[in-house]
């Protein structure tokens, strides 16, 4: 992930900017007549089922990113980032970057090195070696990280990475435990996502 884009993603997950909540709505290429809890990206061929009641910060995060450095496609949080809580504020952030930004990058696995650098800079530790996972017949690279927030609270982050149409597509899931992260990953569909005719 481009370092500035990755730091922006992690910064939003860890920080608490004071902004008003907005209801979740899909962003990007989708048909408004369709299910508002399903984000679809027909260009890159994936969809994400948005948990009911989550807060959409996509536009806010897009405004904070530098032009040409990548694009935040979806950024949703369990509760508004400024809302205090005694649990991890679960989040899902989907972003793209041009693969040409990384000379020598030929596979999704080549992206893990830069991803490790960015997460380490934010205090995360690797939770094992990267693995390959298959979702709907497509293979992605999975990297897991953890960060202790207190003696009793640990933030878990899993990033899935794939290459599509010259883009690095990263799916980042943040939660308070491995099972919660896996539940969030279950909302991802990599089957062909077709929009209904208008």
pLDDT at 87 over 60: yes
For residue 195, being part of any structural domain is answered with no
Q: What is the pLDDT of residue 196?
A: 39
For residue 53, being part of any structural domain is answered with yes
For residue 196, being part of any structural domain is answered with no
For residue 39, being part of any structural domain is answered with yes
Domains held by the chain: number: 1
3-state secondary structure of 40: strand
Report residue 109's pLDDT band, with 50, 70 and 90 as the boundaries: very high
**Residue 93: CATH number of its domain:** 3.40.1000.10
Predicted TM-score of the model (pTM): 0.81
CA distances from 29 to 57, 70, 102 (A): 17, 17, 26
Query: How would you write 116-164 as a 3-class SS string?
Result: HHHHHHCCCEECCCCEEEEECCEEEEEEEEEEECCCCCEEEEEEEEEEE
Q: What is the pLDDT of residue 60?
A: 85
Eight-class DSSP state of 100:
G
pLDDT tens column, 136-184: 999 999 999 999 988 889 999 999 999 999 999 999 999 999 999 999 9
pLDDT at 190 over 80: yes
Q: What is the pLDDT of residue 31?
A: 44
Q: Which domain holds residue 74?
A: 3-189
Q: What is the pLDDT of residue 187?
A: 96
Average pLDDT over residues 38-62: 92
High-pLDDT (> 70) share of the chain, %: 76
For residue 33, being part of any structural domain is answered with yes
CB 74 within 8 A of CB 28: yes
User: How many CA atoms lie less than 13 Å away from 180 in the CB half-sphere?
Assistant: 17
Q: DSSP strand E in the chain: where?
A: 38-41, 46-49, 55-56, 71-77, 91-98, 125-126, 131-135, 138-148, 154-164, 167-175, 188-189
For residue 149, being part of any structural domain is answered with yes
The chain-wide mean pLDDT, for the chain, equals: 81
Report residue 19's pLDDT band, with 50, 70 and 90 as the boundaries: very low
Report residue 63's pLDDT band, with 50, 70 and 90 as the boundaries: confident
Please tell me which residue, 155 or 65, carries the higher pLDDT value: 155
């Amino acid at each position: 992930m481009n370092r500035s884009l990755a730091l922006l993603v992690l910064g939003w997950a860890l920080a608490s900017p004071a902004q008003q909540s907005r209801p979740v709505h899909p962003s990007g290429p989708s048909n408004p007549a369709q299910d508002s809890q399903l984000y679809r990206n027909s260009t890159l061929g994936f969809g994400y089922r948005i948990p009911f009641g989550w807060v959409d910060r996509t536009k806010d995060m897009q405004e904070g990113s530098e032009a040409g450095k990548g694009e935040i496609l979806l950024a949703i949080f369990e509760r508004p980032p400024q809302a205090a809580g005694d649990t991890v504020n679960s989040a899902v952030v989907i972003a793209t970057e041009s693969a040409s930004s990384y000379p020598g990058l030929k596979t999704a696995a080549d992206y893990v090195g830069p991803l490790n650098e960015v997460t380490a800079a934010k205090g995360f530790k690797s939770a094992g070696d990267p693995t390959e996972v298959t979702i709907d017949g497509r293979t992605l690279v999975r990297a897991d990280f953890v960060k202790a927030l207190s003696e009793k609270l640990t933030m878990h982050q899993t990033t899935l990475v794939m290459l599509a149409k010259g883009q690095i597509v990263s799916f980042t899931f943040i939660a308070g435990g491995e099972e919660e992260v896996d539940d969030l990953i279950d909302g991802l569909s990599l089957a062909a996502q077709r929009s209904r005719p208008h």
